Amino acid sequence: MSQVPSIENVQKLLSRAPYHQWLGLKVIAVGEGSIELTAAWREEWVVNPERGYTHGGILAALVDLAADWAMVSRTGRGVPTVDLRVDYHRAAMPGVLTIRGQIVHFGKQFSVAEARVFDKEGRLLASGRGTYLTTPPA
């Protein structure tokens, strides 16, 4: 893709998926090989009602989404995940989450991107790296 897509265009693409709508994803910034999103915290994310923290699967999904959508500035489309690794650094408590994704390597067939999830105080909650199939569709 020759130019970075607008925030509005990426938001429109991202919002097509009901799961992304449910996550409350909002595009904050799109750069060359990068994206910043926010996710509106939901009560349904809680895994432990006594402690109130968010299920790790939600954090993993956010890592995957941000890394995947960082590819939009290069491909103009979402790309399938081939492999994903997530590290958890602290419990995610109620509040809006910020997720930043960045391409690490863009290849002809496979590409690699990283993402980090932060809480409302800017503390790192989870980070990860994914491999994505970026071969153009036939």
Q: Give the chain's domains with CATH numbers.
A: 7-133 (3.10.129.10)
- pTM of the complete model: 0.93
Q: Which residues pair with 30 in a beta bridge?
A: 35
pLDDT beyond 90 at 38: yes
Distance (Å) of CA 2 to CA 5, 20, 23, 56, 72: 9, 26, 30, 36, 11
Give per-residue pLDDT as tens, 69-111. Answer: 999 878 888 899 999 999 999 999 999 999 999 999 999 999 9
Give the type of residue at 68: D
What is the C-alpha separation between 99 and 31, in angstroms, rounded?
A: 14
Structure tokens at 4: 């970075």
